[in-house]
Structure 1
């Protein structure tokens, strides 16, 4: 992922800035950022986009340990909902997962199942964008809403802007329609059927 970090950092800046520029989104969109490599890190605690002053910068190191990230998300979503009464009226949370590797830790399937279990009141939808070594089967397994994989012959840096466009358009459409929509097709990516596993 390291060669593409400048693009990811720029995409995050653009996402925050676009939301802040739209009054209907600035006071409605809540954003949290978690990164993962050899461990999971809360890079940006859940915040109203209008309150974000400093945009975090991603760094890369180590392996693709997703189990810890899924466990952290489960705990953090519970803490976020407990701390913010207004969240009880909001839509189900959505995780936009961007990964370039295959899980290098054990227990990730169980951790993901626990995150999205019906018994978890704050279970999120998950849309996954895979690139690099990320494989079709794993991408489908860690998605509940949509899964995309960089298309054969497409450079990752050329495909990444489509992730930003997809996330931004889903935020905009859900703010007006009250439901989350993701595109069936994404430039530079191929859609992975969620029943592909």
Structure 2
């Protein structure tokens, strides 16, 4: 089973990102879960979202997991929450930050020796969408690092998911953000 934990602030799109990822992956025949845990329901409050992906039925419905991937879409949460909680030795971290990887590892010592990838999802979303909603760029980075799906397949499938709620111009901007993040994650 593949387990993913998202660290975000309410309003940054982690729940939408987790649900969108689940929608796309469920189209491949896999079983999926997407759910969230909110402390406070206020915009800006720290929260987590989760995905589980498996070829067989997923019977575990608890929020507890040992994530294969930790996706941090709010840079500040890297330093004020325990993003390494319940990690596996093989957990991969994809972190939104304006810092390069070496600077981040110097400031966040408990990530040293772990598989860490960085990109600035906030900047990408500001420049492509015009607002700081970093979920789409994080999905692009996740697709690149996880190799869970081919980029073109993900983009076409995600367009269908987005078309239920968004205009074509917003969908196009999201596609641009995903592609850019896919190419910029290091």
| TM-score, normalised with respect to structure 2 | 0.41
When normalised by structure 1's length, the TM-score is 0.40
